[in-house]
């Protein structure tokens, strides 16, 4: 607290906040989310400046909340917990109120402006917005400094409840920008946003090469498909280490497939929780021609069949042609009327991502190419729970012999 700074009585604080609320409610009839964020940010700033330096007692927010409810019957959103969230909202985005930042986009019009909320300026924010900290100015409370990559439009589209979820669980600015953009672009519910954060969507955002944007007409579902698959999978339950050279020559996709089937729960957990196993070597037939895709799943989130083709070596363009055939037959003979188009994944040992991106765009079925690694390529600490080599050899031999 500054020397000589006057202590604001709680009764005056209630009156100040009440005035800001009424002013905000009037403006909110026109710009609901934008104005609400401004009001909450301004109140958060007011509360932060008066509670963090010992000006008020520890029960101040509860007293303010209780009194506001008496002063404004039926008022919602101003509980003690939400007042704390408003304070955190300001403190977590305090850089938007930086004294040294240059304003590039003001949130609210001044009292005599009626045309637009986007008034571009180059004035420097000063500390004169809140003289004596005894008033709340919602017109200049929230400004956007010239921060590289800051998602200005998206920020104002995201509801306050979503902002709370983001700043409570996400620390880095790039990650916050990412979740703000996803929320605004996809109109995410709080539950969907929580799921993305819990699944570390930002950390895992690098996707495998795919053509989903071109082949899935619904952009929202195309985005979901991109996020559903990783560019690489660690199949820790497969270990081909210490197998003789003669045996190694016999190890092909069918052996890997059998090991996956035997560990299907682990494989699904690696791929994602919304996958259901349909079958392996699934029989497809059309015009008396028979085909046997390696693995077929159903993804509940995408409402689509997913066929996975396993390849032991490097990616080859011919794999996409093979996958196209499977997908066309699946959509013609197997897919239900209410289901989305089937999706194909080539899972191979290695792939040149730039080359895959180059060739995959010419295919009209939704497909992607991912890579996998097996146990012998994992760090030792990840291999402790793996089966004994002799046991693995028996399993592999059984897969080769079909017994």
How does the average pLDDT of the chain come out, rounded? 75
Identify which has the larger pLDDT, 19 or 329.
329
Which of these ranges, 68-82, 266-280, 294-308, has the smallest mean pLDDT? 266-280
Most confident of 10-14, 267-271, 306-310, 328-332: 328-332
pLDDT at 206: 63
Per domain, the residue ranges of the chain are 10-147, 150-205, 212-401
pLDDT at 114: 28
pLDDT at 238: 60
Average pLDDT for 290-306: 91
CATH class of 212-401: alpha beta
Q: Is the pLDDT of residue 284 over 50?
A: yes
Q: Is the pLDDT of residue 144 over 80?
A: no
Average pLDDT for 333-338: 94
- Of the pLDDT bands very low, low, confident and very high (cuts 50, 70, 90), residue 247 is very low
Which of these ranges, 45-59, 161-175, 202-216, 387-401, has the smallest mean pLDDT? 387-401
pTM: 0.47
Q: What is the 3-state secondary structure (H, E, C) of the chain?
A: CCCCCCCCCHHHHHHHHHHHHHHHHHHHCCCHHHHHHHHHHHHHHHHHHHHCCCCCCCCHHHHHHHHHHHHCCCCCCCCHHHHHHHHHHHHHCHHHHCCCCEEEEECCCCCCCCCCCCECCCCECCCCCCHHHCCCCCCCCCEEECCCCCCHHHHHHCCHHHHHHHHHHCCCHHHHHHHHHHHHHHCCCHHHHHHHHHCCCCCCCCCCCECHHHHCCCHHHHHHHHHHCCCEEEECCCCCCCCCHHHHHHCCHHHHHHHHHHCHHHHHHHHCCCEEEEEECCCEEECCEEECCCEEEEECCCCEEEEEEEEEEECCCHHHHHHHHHHHHHHHHHCCCCCCCCEEEEEEEECCHHHHHHHHCCCCCCEEEEEEEEHHHCCHHHCCCCCCHHHHHHHHHHHHHCC
């Amino acid at each position: 607290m500054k020397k000589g700074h006057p202590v604001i009585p709680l009764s005056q604080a209630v009156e100040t906040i009440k005035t800001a609320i009424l002013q905000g409610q009037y403006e909110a009839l026109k710009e609901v989310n934008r104005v609400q964020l401004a009001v909450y940010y301004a109140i958060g700033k007011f509360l932060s400046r008066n509670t963090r330096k010992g000006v008020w007692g520890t029960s101040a927010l509860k007293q303010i909340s209780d009194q506001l409810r008496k002063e404004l019957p039926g008022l919602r959103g101003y509980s003690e917990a939400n007042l704390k969230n408003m304070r955190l909202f300001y403190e977590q985005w305090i850089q938007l109120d930086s004294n040294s930042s240059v304003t590039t986009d003001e949130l609210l019009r001044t009292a005599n402006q009626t045309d637009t909320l986007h008034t571009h300026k180059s004035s420097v924010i000063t500390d004169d917005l809140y003289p004596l900290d005894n008033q709340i100015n919602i017109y200049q409370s929230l400004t956007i400094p010239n921060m590289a990559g800051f998602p200005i439009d998206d920020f104002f589209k995201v509801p306050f409840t979503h902002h709370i979820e983001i700043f409570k669980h996400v620390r880095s600015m790039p990650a916050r920008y990412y979740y703000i953009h996803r929320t605004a672009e996809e109109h995410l519910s709080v539950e969907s946003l929580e799921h993305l954060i819990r699944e570390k969507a930002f950390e895992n955002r690098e996707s495998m090469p795919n053509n989903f944007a071109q082949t899935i007409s619904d952009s929202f579902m195309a985005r979901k498909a991109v996020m559903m698959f990783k560019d690489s999978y660690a199949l820790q339950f497969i270990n081909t280490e210490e197998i003789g050279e003669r045996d190694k020559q016999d190890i092909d996709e069918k052996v890997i497939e059998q090991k996956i089937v035997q560990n299907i729960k682990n494989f699904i957990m690696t791929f994602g929780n919304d996958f259901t196993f349909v079958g392996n070597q699934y029989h497809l037939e059309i015009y008396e021609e028979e085909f046997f895709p390696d693995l077929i799943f159903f993804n509940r989130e995408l409402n689509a069949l997913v066929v996975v083709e396993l390849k032991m070596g490097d990616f080859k363009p011919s794999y996409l042609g093979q996958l196209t055939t499977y997908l066309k037959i699946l959509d013609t003979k197997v897919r239900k009327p209410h289901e989305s188009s089937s999706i194909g994944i080539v899972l191979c040992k290695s792939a040149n991502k730039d080359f895959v991106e180059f060739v995959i765009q010419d295919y009209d079925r939704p497909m992607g190419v991912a890579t996998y690694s097996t146990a012998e390529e994992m760090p030792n600490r990840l291999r402790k729970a793996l089966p004994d080599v002799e046991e693995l050899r028996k399993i592999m031999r059984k897969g080769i012999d079909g017994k």
